[in-house]
Structure 1
């Protein structure tokens, strides 16, 4: 933020100026691999220009967080000499509660081949929150324009325009527990997820069962591919800990016929198993089941299954985790955007019918209480998330992330369910026994 003198023709008042780097923007509509305009992906410290805008069907949207006041908007730009490019500028609040009537104006960027600053419009911001500023080409931009920054100027003493550091979304988490008496020692975990229609943007991981050595859930990977993913961490991080030995790596025990396995890194190291043709759908429940079986050699065998709607259970894999003897003590769930560039799209899922079976008593315990957590959450940054008991379904927890909506947190507890998910687990126990017989036939590391 800097202080500048007033605009020509206006009363001389001290103005505050807020600079928004042009690359803190989104190309819309979002098309993976074909943005139609170059917007360098950046982390908080990065600054970059928008360039190579060659697709007339692509608009560019900036979302900023503003306090009330009158703001004059300018664009720092450079247009090829002799070009005259027309755009429509639209300004709106990201949600109705802000009370801003949408504002529109046509702009003409005239090319001199030199750096220039174009005045956009004056907008009166009525309430603190997220606002969208969108440029839509009215003529072919021809790759002839570069925009380096947006400038907001105001005489409001407490004016504030804050650009969003991350074009991703905040990650949101629910940690599950029970209000019932329990040993907090479970050998089986169970939960269901349902993603509503339209709440499944690309690059979303809806993690269902997160435990002390890994996690299990579903992903939207490409426009045509959806996966179920089950990962288990090594005892040490092979990328950071030079003391790691072969005995610290997880090993594959067995896997389903449709399962792909490999080693992974970047967030700790370990073994990854996934089903590419899982074919889960929005509006349909996906059920998850996990087992932990401690072994005498200070390892545990971790096994996972999933079921789409009521189409039958699918075995994913079993992994042996070394230097471990714990049962599950509960689990957590989260929503994560791992693709970064489409954080203006909202993700949502219901998490419900959550249970753990006590290892000592075989009693199923319903997890009817959660603890909330999230990443970011700083004022003026990514505070667009929701958590708690669903307003639509009082027997389901839910989470949402992204879309630049207001923060919503509801209740963190609901009534205890009385009907466990399984009368018995014999066929699943038999599959674990079969996996142990098959152990050693495959390896993820050469």
Structure 2
């Protein structure tokens, strides 16, 4: 009898623990939200969440991934300066709710819904009417119910999506004097705040960027020695990368904030749908190496010098070859972006060309922390591809190997004479 009682007690405790686990609320902070069609008429503050929301055409979105179908209750934690109503929509259901008026954030239960399948869900908050300055200042969206078990969402104010990489391995024993690659960005995938990097190596990176609706750049940078993370003024002279040359209209300077080093960029209105060519050159000289980047300008049918930097405490050819796709803007870290990377080759100091037909997929700390689950890559014909964001399921995992149709014809390079 005692054993039966003990077994019943353990069963009840287990059921109670399971119930607690299932009903643990998930709190999606206001600072993780995104605004659409753009972050205008609202501000997403890292400290205060959703504030200054006064535009009825702007919708605020919170995203999560639900892996355990079940019941879900949505609670709005917000305040307004005067009577206001917002609409909250999720899982095909929506409901209007009056926002608490006052100086303190308060909860308002909005709706209950039944999640029938696992996947990403968008909790969309839109303005209905207001009598004051704002529709709502939103501190958080609280979710309760069995569907919150093992729920995933980004709990941090870092609203960029995960960065994804292709890592290439040259043939064993071959030194890399030249590194060639191409990029093609599909139409519509060239979102503002995206860097498509073709030719990366152990000291730098070279690719193209979308900086604003009206500005695009070709960017080449080389890191200093010494490991200073933020401020170049802290880097010793003997550890600093030095600019040796730059192309016409190229801007060159130092940089900090992501390590430090020498930066160069050329304003160039590259277009989605076109293929662009990149070429890196390395020349070791004692304990230094000179790195030079060239970009092929299709309108002129010629290679353009971007810049040449001399890197201290190096003295070797290029290693750790890679490409990457990065979303560097916070405001639109919810928007999908994709790029194709292909026809990568290396050339040795002996003049031998070798294709890079295989690549290892990796990602950054955002992905490794499971803050974002929407990323991937693969091979498609003669191209590799990388994508990030959009809140769709990942199609690749860290360490996956990709192989595309073999490159067969080395590039023909006719560089300008100086």
TM-score by length of 2: 0.86
Query: 2:254 corresponds to which residue?
Result: 263
| 1:367 CA drift (Å) | 0.2
How far 1:113 moved relative to its partner?
Answer: 6.2
Q: CA RMSD in A?
A: 2.5
Give the CA deviation at 1:302: 1.1
What is the DSSP-based 3-state SS (H/G/I as helix, E as strand, rest coil) of the residue aligned with 1:50? strand
Aligned partner of 1:443 in structure 2 is none
Distance 1:244 1:116, change over 3 A: closer
How far apart in 2 are the matches of 1:395 and 1:309?
21
Q: Which residue of 1 aligns with 2:59?
A: 59
Q: 2:287 aligns with which of 295, 298, 301?
A: 298
CA, structure 1 residues 336+90, in 2 after alignment: closer, same or farther (shift >3 Å)?
same
Local SS of the residue matching 1:106: strand
Q: CA deviation at 1:110?
A: 5.7
- Distance in 1 (CA, whole Å) between partners of 2:31 and 2:89 is 18
SS at match of 2:50: coil
Measure how far apart 1:146 and its partner are.
Answer: 2.3
Aligned pairs (5 A) from 1:160-199: 160-164=150-154, 165=156, 166-178=158-170, 181=171, 183-199=173-189
Q: How has the CA–CA distance of structure 1 residues 103 and 411 changed in structure 2, closer, same or farther, with 3 Å as cutoff? A: farther
Q: Is the CA contact 1:17–1:153 (under 8 Å) kept in the aligned structure 2? A: yes
Contact 2:192 2:213 (8 Å CA) reproduced: yes
Aligned to 1:91: 90
In the alignment, the residues of structure 1 paired with residue 275 and residue 74 of structure 2 have an alpha-carbon distance, to the nearest angstrom, of 46
Q: How does 1:16-415 map to 2 (within 5 A)?
A: 16-31=24-39, 35-41=40-46, 48-66=48-66, 67-81=68-82, 83=83, 85-92=84-91, 102-109=92-99, 111=101, 115-140=105-130, 142-143=133-134, 145-155=136-146, 159-164=149-154, 165=156, 166-178=158-170, 181=171, 183-238=173-228, 244-276=235-267, 278-295=268-285, 297-309=286-298, 311-312=300-301, 313-329=303-319, 331-360=321-350, 362-375=351-364, 376-378=366-368, 381-390=371-380, 394-409=381-396, 412-415=402-405
Aligned to 1:441: none
What SS is found at the alignment partner of 2:152?
Answer: strand
Return closer, same or farther for 1:241/1:69 CA change in 2, 3 Å cut-off.
same
Asked if the contact 2:250–2:265 (Cα under 8 Å) also holds between the matched residues in 1, the reply is yes
DSSP-derived class of the 1:341 partner: coil
Shift of 1:198: 0.8
Displacement of 1:182: 5.0
SS of 2:31's equivalent in the other structure is coil
CA separation in 2, counterparts of 1:203 and 1:196? 16
Deviation at 1:294, TM superposition (A): 2.2
Change in CA separation of 1:242 and 1:309 when aligned onto 2, cut-off 3 Å: closer
Change (3 A) 1:273 1:107: same
Residue deviations 1:134-167 (CA, integer Å, cap 9, x gap) = 01112247325322222212156x7243331342
CA distance in 2, matches of 1:229, 1:298: 25
Number of residue equivalences:
388
Contact 1:26 1:39 in 2 (8 A): yes
Q: Give secondary structure in 2 for the equivalent of 1:76.
A: strand
Aligned position for 1:96:
none
Helix, strand or coil at the partner of 1:23:
helix
The normalised TM-score by structure 1 is: 0.80
CA distance in 2, matches of 1:210, 1:265: 18
For 1:19 and 1:200, the matched residues in 2 are separated by 32
Structure 1 regions of 5+ residues with no counterpart?
A: 1-13, 43-47, 93-101, 435-446
